Amino acid sequence: MQHVLITGGAGFIGSHLADELLEHGYRVRALDNLSPQVHGSGGGRPGYLDPHVELVVGDVRDPAAVRRALRGIDVVCHLAAAVGVGQSMYEVAHYTAVNDLGTAILLEALIERPVERLVVASSMSLYGEGLYRTLDGRRTAAPERSLAQLRAAEWEVRDARGTILEPIPTPEDKVPAIASVYALSKYDQERLCLMVGRAYGIPAVALRLFNTYGTRQALSNPYTGVLAIFASRLLNDRPPTIFEDGLQQRDFVAARDVARAFRLAIATPGLDGDVFNVGSGRAITIREVADRMARVMGREYIGAEITGKYRVGDIRHCVADIDHARAVLGYDPRVSFDDGLLELAEWLEGQQADDRVAEASEALATRGLTV
């Protein structure tokens, strides 16, 4: 029976991964600092965390806590990270410390005590814009949208002649185009794990997670996933706020599907240095997400607020090409978006959320991070 350490294991994705691993016969330990932004000010063990999970309360930046958490461990799933594109653009030192330094401390501990496999949670954010197709059918990386274009509310990505490009699924070989501090730190986490793993003979795998949603997301954290942010607004009878025109496309994947991808990355033999997209492979607009979220929560009367503003670090379209994960891991998403929304809505009944979206938006605006 393999013993797995999940860094960030008391969080949203980490706790779902713990459930998945326990169900399949693994022993699970979680290292988590129970950050107040995610877990609230109480600082206690989350009620949703399975009692069979051994929780080590500590920070991934603390070498002693990391060494303690690694005792007797066979596999590490590294999920610990500060999350949020907007906040990363002004809390630069914090994001760099947690995501980069925290990963470096973990890796130094693994150099001293190697494990059978290291699986790191990377992010679709490192792609920047997803992949596009020209009118003549060629695949192309997207040019960055100009400030003048954004100020004119011309949101779509265009080629040098001004022709709108067609978004297509983004594969792993797309060259990264880092657009935020958060994206850079996630790319650093991925590359550090694969590089050090290769140097020291630790089989390492990176999963580039797309927009993950589901139960247990921190509803009072205005820098978490967009579905949780929309739910927080709707629970308080306030409209979801949407940047640009709401027609930007994303790929939403259920946390339970992500957890299964991690388990497959642990169990599949022969993986070393590989990278996999983990998404649903389906595109949906942010405006449609807000509308469907309102319907399943019984808040159809609350229309979304389309701001017509651009947030620095945001991209227009990005959807996963998951063919590589299908072929190698046997990964295939099982939770449809409709089923995932219904599950989320059931969990939201009785939940309370401190809506801090306006506060977060003001923090961006005062720093000139919205246009």
Point out the catalytic residue in the list 26, 95, 182, 213: 182
Note whether 256 and 214 are within 8 A (CB): yes
Tell me how far CA of residue 184 lies from CA of 16, 86, 103, in angstroms: 26, 13, 13
Note whether 238 and 294 are within 8 A (CB): no
182 is catalytic: yes
Number of other residues whose CB lies within 10 A of the CB of residue 27: 17
Are β-strands 3-7 and 249-250 bridged in parallel, bridged antiparallel, or unpaired? unpaired
User: How many Å apart are CA 312 and CA 370, to the nearest integer?
Assistant: 6
User: Which residue, among 223, 212, 247, has the nearest Cα to 317 in the 3D structure?
Assistant: 247
* Those residues with Cβ within 8 angstroms of residue 302's Cβ, 6 or more apart along the chain or in another chain: 234, 237, 238, 239, 240, 294
Per-residue tokens: 93:
């030192």
CA atoms within 13 A on the CB side of 55: 19
**H helix runs in 115-180, sequence order:** 147-151
User: How many Å apart are CA 321 and CA 369, to the nearest integer?
Assistant: 30
Note whether 74 and 25 are within 8 A (CB): no
Q: Could you tell me how many helices (H) and strands (E) the chain has, helices first?
A: 14, 16
Query: What angle is formed at CA 313 by the lines to CA 312 and CA 317, rounded to 5 degrees?
Result: 115
Note whether 230 and 348 are within 8 A (CB): no
**What are the two backbone dihedrals, phi and then psi, of residue 195, each rounded to the nearest 5 degrees?**
-65, -50
Per-residue tokens: 23:
């169900």
- Catalytic residues, by residue number, are 182
